């Protein structure tokens, strides 16, 4: 049985843009957070591809990863994830092959099969490209070929990319990628930071379908976890209202810019919206260090996860840094 201290811990940064803020400041904050995460002992720092969202500044994911890797020295940086249906596999192989060539041994390529946007934006991204989520297994295989060793009959190569063997992860919020990751013998990250409902079933399917591969001899499970850590439970509950407002805005189709915390959510949401936000954040760790430690111990006991990747979407940058600092102290025991 795993203990908390046996589990790796990482950061997923949504590069939030705050009310009256700018994308430029958000990107600088992301680098500052990565530098602090490195100092605190986090294993990896991931950013995710999102489009047409005014409150998230990580759309040009590989460009941002170059900035983050260049400003850090030891922490792994990667995508959590690149939405592969939006891209030709060769383009992603070249981008991440370039990153791996510049920052060897520090780059992760997490892949998702969702568009990371609405359908209108997906069409704007793809134009003439006919790819869809249905092509995901073939696209993953093609991408792995580009990043693997060059074969004698190979007519198209990724340069840089070929022979770099950038580690590939499959990400998912449903059961499809769990089965595919197992069958391909790849590490699997479940998006329980926003879709906790299927977490246990996805883990079961992944482990049951797992076949050892050249990269993994046994299953490797990472779970996404929302985090609001503060010195006291009361302070964490207050800071969490920024997160609640953001999820509420997402559900309503409103602007996703970060809003400051409020003393109470009463009057801001309807009863059914409060319940929906609660379901979305079902795995959230909100509280002081003692409360968070207790909840994490239960999570690890129930899932035997190998790694947890935390997203802490707080309004003040200093509060985010402190949240991750407190978590690191909890994880290290």
Q: Read out DSSP for 87-118? A: S-HHHHHHHHHHHHHHSTT-EEEEEE-S-SS-
Tokens 């209108």, located at residue: 120
Asked if 182 contacts 219 with a C-beta cutoff of 8 angstroms, the reply is yes
Q: How far apart are CA 286 and CA 312, in angstroms?
A: 10
Q: How far apart are CA 161 and CA 149, in angstroms?
A: 9
Asked if 15 contacts 58 with a C-beta cutoff of 8 angstroms, the reply is yes
Q: How far apart are CA 131 and CA 150, in angstroms?
A: 25
The two tokens of residue 189 are 């990250």
What count of Cα atoms within 13 Å lies in the side-chain half-sphere of residue 184?
Answer: 21
* Residue-by-residue pLDDT tens, the chain, 333 positions: 888 999 999 999 999 999 889 999 999 999 999 999 999 999 999 999 999 899 999 999 999 999 999 999 999 999 999 999 889 999 999 999 999 999 999 999 999 987 655 667 666 666 555 555 578 999 999 999 999 999 988 899 999 999 999 999 999 988 999 999 999 999 999 998 888 899 999 999 999 999 999 999 999 999 999 999 999 999 999 999 999 999 999 999 999 999 999 999 999 999 999 999 999 999 999 999 999 999 999 999 999 999 999 999 999 999 999 999 999 999 997
The CA distances from residue 262 to 23, 157, 238, 241, 244, in Å, are: 24, 53, 7, 6, 10
Tell me how crowded residue 201 is: count the other CB atoms within 10 A of its CB. 13
Asked if 39 contacts 251 with a C-beta cutoff of 8 angstroms, the reply is no
Asked if 315 contacts 321 with a C-beta cutoff of 8 angstroms, the reply is no
Q: How far apart are CA 243 and CA 135, in angstroms?
A: 34
Q: How far apart are CA 171 and CA 330, in angstroms?
A: 26
Q: What is the pTM of this model?
A: 0.94
Q: What CATH number is given for 4-230+284-331 in this structure? A: 3.20.20.30
Please write down the long-range contacts of 261-268, taking CB distance under 8 Å and 24 or more positions apart. 261/315, 263/238, 265/241
CA dihedral 156, 160, 164, 169 (to 10 degrees): -80
């Amino acid at each position: 049985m795993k203990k908390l201290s046996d589990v790796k811990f990482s950061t997923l940064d949504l590069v939030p843009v705050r009310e009256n803020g700018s994308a430029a400041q958000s990107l600088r904050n992301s680098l500052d957070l990565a530098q602090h995460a490195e100092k605190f002992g986090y294993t990896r720092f991931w950013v995710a591809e999102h489009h047409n969202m005014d409150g998230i500044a990580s759309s040009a994911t590989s460009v941002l990863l170059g900035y983050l890797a260049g400003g850090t020295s030891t922490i792994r940086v990667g995508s959590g994830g690149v939405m592969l249906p939006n891209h030709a596999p060769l383009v992603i192989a070249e981008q991440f092959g370039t990153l791996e060539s510049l920052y060897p041994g520090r780059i992760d390529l997490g892949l998702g099969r969702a568009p990371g946007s609405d359908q209108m934006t997906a069409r704007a991204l793809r134009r003439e490209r006919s790819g869809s989520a249905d092509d995901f297994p073939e696209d993953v295989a093609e991408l792995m070929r580009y990043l693997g060793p060059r074969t004698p009959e190979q007519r198209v190569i990724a340069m840089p990319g070929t022979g770099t063997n950038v580690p590939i992860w499959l990400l998912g919020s449903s059961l499809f990628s769990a089965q595919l990751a197992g069958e391909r013998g790849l590490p699997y990250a479940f998006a329980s930071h926003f879709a906790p409902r299927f977490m246990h079933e996805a883990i079961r399917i992944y482990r049951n379908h797992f076949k050892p591969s050249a990269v993994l001899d046994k299953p490797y499970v990472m779970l996404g976890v929302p985090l609001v850590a503060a010195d006291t439970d009361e302070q964490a509950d207050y800071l969490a209202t920024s997160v609640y407002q953001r999820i509420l805005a997402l559900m309503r189709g409103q602007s996703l810019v970060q809003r400051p915390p409020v003393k109470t959510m009463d009057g801001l949401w309807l009863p059914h919206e409060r319940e929906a936000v609660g379901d979305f954040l079902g795995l959230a760790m909100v509280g002081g260090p003692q409360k968070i430690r207790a909840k994490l111990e239960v999570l690890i006991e129930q899932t035997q996860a190998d790694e947890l990747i935390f997203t802490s979407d707080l309004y003040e940058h200093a509060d985010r840094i402190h949240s991750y600092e407190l978590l690191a102290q909890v994880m290290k025991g």
